[in-house]
Structure 1
Amino acid sequence: MYQLLIVDDEIYAARGIQAGVEWIELGISKVHIAYNIRQAKEVFAKHKIDVMICDIEMPEGNGLELLTWVREESPFTESIFLTCHADFEYAKKAIQLGSLDYMLKPARFDELQAVVEKAINKIKTAKEFDDYKETYEHYLQLWSLYEPLLIERFWMDLLSEKIAADPYEIREILEEKKIPYKESLQFLPILISIQRWHNELNPQDEKIMEFAIRDVAGSFLIKGDQQAQVIQIRKGILVAILPIEDQDITSLDLIKKDCQAYIDFCRQDLYCDLSCYIGELVAIHNMPTILDSLLRCESHNVSCINQVLLMSSRKNKEITIQLPDMSVWSDMLKKGCKKSLLVEIDSCLQKAKQSEGLDAEYLHKFKQNFLQMIYYVLKVKGMPAHNIFSENMAFQEVTRSVTYLHKWVQEIVIKTADYLEDKETNQSVVDKVKAYINEHINEDITRDDLANYVYLNPDYLSRLFKKETGISISDYLIEERMKIAKELLRKTEMTVKDIALEVGYSNFSHFSKTFKKSTNMNPKDFRQFKQVHA
């Protein structure tokens, strides 16, 4: 819980603030009041103040002086000024001293509560960062002292197939290196897959945190067994190897419980999501084969996160789900139905997540179809794709899980819909008419259609369009259609009839006459001329 201090020489103002806000809802257990700077310092001496609400002009010294003192004596306190003085110099000085906000009296209690909540959230974020930093420093120290062990080296060579999976050769190596594995030992591998880091990490930080995850796996899964190992196969993939005596009675439920406790600890204390894949009990020479099976299970898992999974139950099944019809989605996006589209996408991916046999291949196809749909909408709306897709987008990562794909798809839909809405809001009437023509170029477009689209009288729209462009709507429509027709004649093998339909002419003769009037050549002659002079 947090503590808050109100500093104001006006007694009723201070008490009004104290009584007017639901402090408990913000996690504030104690609200102190001071009527001057001296009393405020006394409160700081006795209590840890997390948030201070302070007036500026007071008889025994102003609030800026108090904030200067607080910055030195209690640097983690968040301060908010609440004053009658709308003075720019005061506000400027308050910002320089690190004040979170500068509010004018009388402030509404809900506004004040929102600012205090912002301060509390800032304090929480800082505390989480400090906790993370402390954990990081601990494992940095451990990592710097770590040295590979002999048994670990053996397992690395065996699993990477530098050592042949031959029982006799393995026995000779064990004897040569004096590794104390008995003939009766069998081994249970547990694959550990790091699925997501909660914080963005640079390469060195990621290495150190992977070491932390490996170290913690020793505590939860190995529990001091000197013959057991946790080794890293590659980035983000570790394997715990548990030796089991033939006569041992191994409880699978207990191992699953240990794995889940390990997962929960990593999520809460090491700020990552991971899953554990439990293999089958095998002889030492079969470990490379069982590891390959576990890796296949891991690659096929796109729907489970922070879970314990058994290899025996993760059998590949034929995908029975169908990819969605995204042509409907494109219509919804073009019409600005953002909320409805997001609900539709959520329903589709939730259904996929619950389906048998879901794997990365389905997500990859979904992503490709989704990108095609977005590019189509952007093309129709006459907008470049680079406004939506940033250069550093990790396209490969989005198919790693349904969760990643869902988040990425939501971001793209929201960004595209907002961009379309913003562009249409800022478009002039003439720009909207041009955009409509471009989007419906292959349809029969009338002046009334355009007038209804922009909610204007047809005659007024015609005068407005010609005033701004210098040509009539009908002439502009012909120009745009002929421009596209020329490009299609020049760059494609489409028949002239098909091109006529593509640009909105169902009457082939009418198209030819209009084209010749525009270019002084009929369509076939134009195509031949351009091919000769290409």
Structure 2
Amino acid sequence: MYRLLIVDDEPIIVDGLIDFFSDLEGFPELELYWAYSAHEALACLRSTRIDIVLSDIEMPEMNGLSLQKEINQRWPRCKVIFLTGYNDFDYIHSSSRNGATDYVLKTEGDAQILKAVRKAIEALDSQLALEHLLRKAEGRLTQALPLLQREFWMDLLSGAEVFQSITDAEARLRELHIPLKADEPLLMILGRVDAWKEEMSQSDKMLFLYAVHNIAEEYLQDAFRIVQIKYRQDRFVWLLQYKRPAAALGEETAGWPIHQINGYMELIQASCSSYLNTPCSFMTVSEPFPWHLIAQRFDTLSFLFARGLGTRQEVLLSDQQLFDTFRERPDGRAQMRTVQLLTDFLEKGHRAAFLALFDQFMGTIDGASFSRTGTAVEIFYGMVSMFITYINRWALMKPVSDRFNINRLFSIEEHATWREATASFRQLADMLFEMKSDESEQQSNEVIRKVQDYIKENLEGDLSLTRLAEAVYLSPSYLSKLYKQETGISLTDYIVDNRIQKAKELLLGSEQKIHKIGRSVGFESAAYFARCFKKMTGQTPQEFRDGVRRG
């Protein structure tokens, strides 16, 4: 919906145009504003975004051309249409030079005015056309691509990004111009600069990391597709895919990509030391893995890099070399990351995503018995911490306690089996999502009630969408959509209906003149009041008053 402001120092022209645009059918819906001087128009423009201004040129104190300059400063996209009684070339030239959309003689009538407004609407539509926006976005995407790629990779490595399907993954990789394939497994190498030279600046360090990557590409690019991700000042990840499909390697060379990488890593490490004079360490996976295990493999390599031989300089190890040593020491970071993801889903109200991850997470422990392992205890109390934090943040302890035995959260001993603990957590999660949904509905209902109360109490005042939105602290466009979605009717229809109902009461209960009654309920024009009244009741205000009295 666009906003049209009509400005003229002759009230009869303003009122007539308001009536004209209010009664139009089959025309794009417009939110109408009006002013009887350029200064009134400026007051409106200061508080409200206006899309189209239909203004007289010749007005006292400030003329239309001066008003146009103010409009251009405040709302550059606003389309200005000038009305004038003079076919003066100087006016046309000046207004066009300042960016006026059109110029209409008052003598040309409503049809030409309507044509000019339609033209302005089409111009606004074209500015927002999807094709135009996409072209503009593509240019910006090119500039922002490195940042978007880094954000994507960091989400994948942390587990925050989860592909729903191979098709979804392929689309994301294509969109970000990443030269990997979603239907093929990955190899991962973690790299670390063991020591920087003291004189190195931040920019020098960044250039150095590029140099390390270039060395790797020189050795690996013939056989592998390779992507580098810098995740700390001295740490980076390489993700690789073999350019030949795994099936083409044959059983006798099934492990060849891994052996090939291990051989090349020795050369890469030696080149970094010789040509860059800086020691580097590398940790590789021992076998290819599917995309959905990226975060898990990254956690494993990071964990191993910080343990044992991984703490030395210029190490070159694989996860298999160290995995047996730490097999019985589960990395708690993976569990904490999962709890954080569950927390995010709970906070955002993403029920399906929460329950899918919840079932997977709780399923890591055997449900038939209650294992007292450290992992089970850590998962249990991690979930308890998440739920208690959420309940306290939203002040839900009382309503939750009324429907759920909160004591079941305070001790793992309250549950006979892991399956019982899982069911208890699932029950609590369902309850919290239900409460969040109810709260959202209550908030919407409260907004609708406040808007309707405000309308009823201010029928004769400013009931523009902007003013109503200010009353409930929402944006005008969101309020308009919310009201229509919740009630099934537009705000404009509700306002007109209430004004007509109030007018009926005044017509029957007072001897006021009809045009005064119309103005008292918010109709600036008597003619517009009469048309709206007849449209809704089938009678003019006078016919309604006379008919009831005769009856």
If the length of structure 2 is used for normalisation, what is the TM-score?
A: 0.30
If the length of structure 1 is used for normalisation, what is the TM-score?
A: 0.31
